[in-house]
Amino acid sequence: MQKYAPAVLLASFACGVAAGAQTDIPIWAWCVLTVCALAFGLAVFRSGKGLNGSYKSVPFLVLAVFSAGGWREASKDAATSKALSALPWYGHVNYTAVADEVPGINRGQEVRFIKIRNFKSPQAPAFPSGMRLSVPADTSLAVKPGDVLCGEGTILPLKAPQRHDTPDFSRINILKGIVAEIHGGNISCTGKNTMSLSSLRENIRTKIKENLIRAGLSRQSASLTCALVLGDKNSLDKDTKQAYQLSGAMHLLVVSGLHVGIVAALLYFLSSPLKKKKMLRAAVILVSLWAYGWLTGYSPPVLRALWMFSILTLSGLGGGRYSPVGALGVAGLADIVFFPNDLFSAGFQMSYAATLAIILLYGKISKLCAPLPRGADMTAKLILVSLAAQTALLPFVLYYFDYLNFLFPLTNLLLVPLVCYLLIPAGILMIVLSAFTSCIPVLPQVYDSLTGLSARVASGIAERDFAAVTDLGLSQGAFYGLIPICAGAVFFFRRKTAGACLAVTGGIIWASVTLISGNPFPYLGQEGEKYFVYLDEDRKALPSPGSIITAAGHTVCFMPGKTDSLPDGKFILAAEKYRIPYKAPAGIIVLPGARAEDVLAWKAYAATYGAAFYDMRAQGYYKFAKD
């Protein structure tokens, strides 16, 4: 059981972080619970004899780790609450900040959203420096992570979901420390920070791409190489990125254990002259791997792979037994203790779900592939492992991306061997050779052909949309229920009873959450730039300005003009532009397209006349609940 202890601690801490995010339990309560659980656990351990005392103290240790996770998240939530209360919502600010995340530019794109940190503004002097904001910037602005920015604009809340079947990304972003957006102003770069590690990483990536192009690779192949080897998808063109995503091969462009394993294998081969000096060889490999991880950006999947490989290497040196589940637990615990925001990122969730599925099924897969000829067995393992990972990722793909191509097994069959055996090793070779010479015969042309082939395969499968499922609108309850169902499918190949129990549990969760959440219809929402009244799953109505909407006992006057009459009796006004109505409404719904000054004016009007106020941008779609 000891080999599962880190995984149990990871699950306990993660549940504590999630509980801290979903509840309003104060920090002091989590602190008291942690101390009491540790004290009781220590008392039970000391009063017991041998293993008896150890086992009896385990529940208290698990409770202590759980409450420590809640304590950690509650501390972060306190900083988030301070940040939210410090901002002048819908007000104008002048600010300086540091660029934190700078996405790439797709062809034809005019605006990109930059994440900024160290936000300083005279209009928000109490804003914590550790929180981040999102700023739309023109793609012509040359900026890199670490650069100093200066700008002005209007503070807006993150846009809440405007449909019931859309994930609440505003809530997810707030949990990740991104609390607001700045719109409608100017932004400029006032200083280049060439000394930061992030800026140095971007410069190295840019230099690698320039070397590849100078060595003879096409720009598209150079961008795909940087995506496959370095995880840098910023310069990858939109069509190629979309082809990989829609065909179910996007995991090949995300640097993870697969890529780290290939790089580690190459490092082992290159360090073979040091095989008699095990300590030195291990140090060289681990330092090189962590340097490679830094170059890829230390995303959650990379950190997980690096921690697990480091534990594997060190356990080999110490003569200990390596437990993949235990190593996965240590990796996850190390990540979310220092970066609790990672728990709420899709990358973290998908990486650990896929890895756990691979660990659980790898033994079965190895036995299944053992009779195959040498070489074919490894290819079969790669494909089956990829399919196991895709099964575990199914709930996350449907919830976060709302798209699934059922031809993904064919994608893996064709692209996994091509990418793993040819593109990634050849890409690493091209990067190394291009750093020393710009004259590489034959290889660039061959590599261009291989990258073109992979892109055509992905595009060809992506275009077969007859096998694709989209617009499912997986609800949060369905998402939570589908996770144990897919976990049950994975466990079924190891323990049939456990797999069946998990699947049944998932069905119960799905049904329970669906019943508790109730029917969201009818509601007023937004799709694109248009507003709709959603009557049920299949029907929606497009209200015209000045129309009267009657639903669930509510009467809503939708965007009335100057000459439009208002309904008799109690009614709710839905509007963008501020215009004083000749009759006071019982409530005001401010639509997401309203300007900041109109939102403030409507809010003041509602306070003056005692009307209920509902901001759809901040609060999401408006449900016509019965009184």
pLDDT digits (tens, 9 = 90+) for 32-41: 999 998 888 8
Pull the structure tokens for residue 129. Answer: 């420096």
In the chain, what's the furthest Cα-to-Cα distance?
91
Look at residue 609 and tell me whether its pLDDT is greater than 80: yes
Pull the structure tokens for residue 526. Answer: 């937004």
d(CA 72, CA 28): 11
Query: What's the whole-number mean pLDDT along residues 356-382?
Result: 85
Look at residue 1 and tell me whether its pLDDT is greater than 70: no
559-583 pLDDT, tens digit each: 998 888 888 889 999 999 999 998 8
Do 590 and 613 contact (CB within 8 A), yes or no?
yes
230-240 pLDDT, tens digit each: 888 777 777 78
pTM of the model: 0.83
Share the mean pLDDT of the chain.
86
Do 243 and 411 contact (CB within 8 A), yes or no?
no
Looking at the structure, tell me whether residues 247 and 265 fall in a common domain.
yes
Look at residue 2 and tell me whether its pLDDT is greater than 90: no
Averaging pLDDT over each range in 161-165, 198-202, 291-295, 493-497, which range is the top one?
291-295
Looking at the structure, tell me whether residues 239 and 323 fall in a common domain.
yes
Looking at the structure, tell me whether residues 35 and 141 fall in a common domain.
no
Alpha-carbon separation of residue 127 from 98, 174, 458, 489, 607 (angstroms)? 14, 15, 45, 47, 26
Look at residue 13 and tell me whether its pLDDT is greater than 60: yes
Look at residue 531 and tell me whether its pLDDT is greater than 90: yes
Looking at the structure, tell me whether residues 330 and 427 fall in a common domain.
yes
Looking at the structure, tell me whether residues 74 and 175 fall in a common domain.
no
Residue (of 572, 612, 573, 616) closest to 593 by Cα position: 616
SS3 label, residue 42? helix
Query: What's the whole-number mean pLDDT along residues 599-607?
Result: 94
Looking at the structure, tell me whether residues 543 and 424 fall in a common domain.
no
Residue (of 342, 271, 356, 267) closest to 303 by Cα position: 342
Task: Identify the helix (H) or strand (E) that includes residue 378.
Answer: helix 376-396
pLDDT at 48: 65
pLDDT at 51: 46
d(CA 14, CA 344): 10
Query: How many domains are there within the chain?
Result: 5
pLDDT at 194: 58
Query: What's the whole-number mean pLDDT along residues 413-427?
Result: 86
Looking at the structure, tell me whether residues 491 and 584 fall in a common domain.
no
247-289 pLDDT, tens digit each: 878 878 888 888 888 888 888 888 888 888 889 999 999 999 9
What is the CATH classification number for the domain harbouring 183?
A: 2.40.50
Looking at the structure, tell me whether residues 17 and 127 fall in a common domain.
no
Do 83 and 131 contact (CB within 8 A), yes or no?
yes
Looking at the structure, tell me whether residues 106 and 39 fall in a common domain.
no
Least confident stretch, 52-56, 376-380, 568-572, 596-600: 52-56
Q: Domain span at residue 138?
A: 87-193
Looking at the structure, tell me whether residues 187 and 210 fall in a common domain.
no
Looking at the structure, tell me whether residues 443 and 493 fall in a common domain.
no
SS3 label, residue 575? strand
Percent of residues, the chain, with pLDDT higher than 70: 96
Query: Could you tell me the pLDDT band of residue 498, with boundaries at 50, 70 and 90?
Result: confident
Query: What's the whole-number mean pLDDT along residues 615-619?
Result: 94
d(CA 349, CA 627): 39
Query: Could you tell me the pLDDT band of residue 524, with boundaries at 50, 70 and 90?
Result: very high
Query: Could you tell me the pLDDT band of residue 627, with boundaries at 50, 70 and 90?
Result: very low
Angle between helices 27-47 and 51-86 (to 10 degrees): 170
pLDDT at 106: 65
Task: Identify the helix (H) or strand (E) that includes residue 183.
Answer: strand 178-183
Look at the chain and count its residues. Answer: 627
Do 458 and 249 contact (CB within 8 A), yes or no?
yes
Look at residue 50 and tell me whether its pLDDT is greater than 60: no
**For residue 441, which phi and psi values (nearest 5 degrees)?**
-75, 145
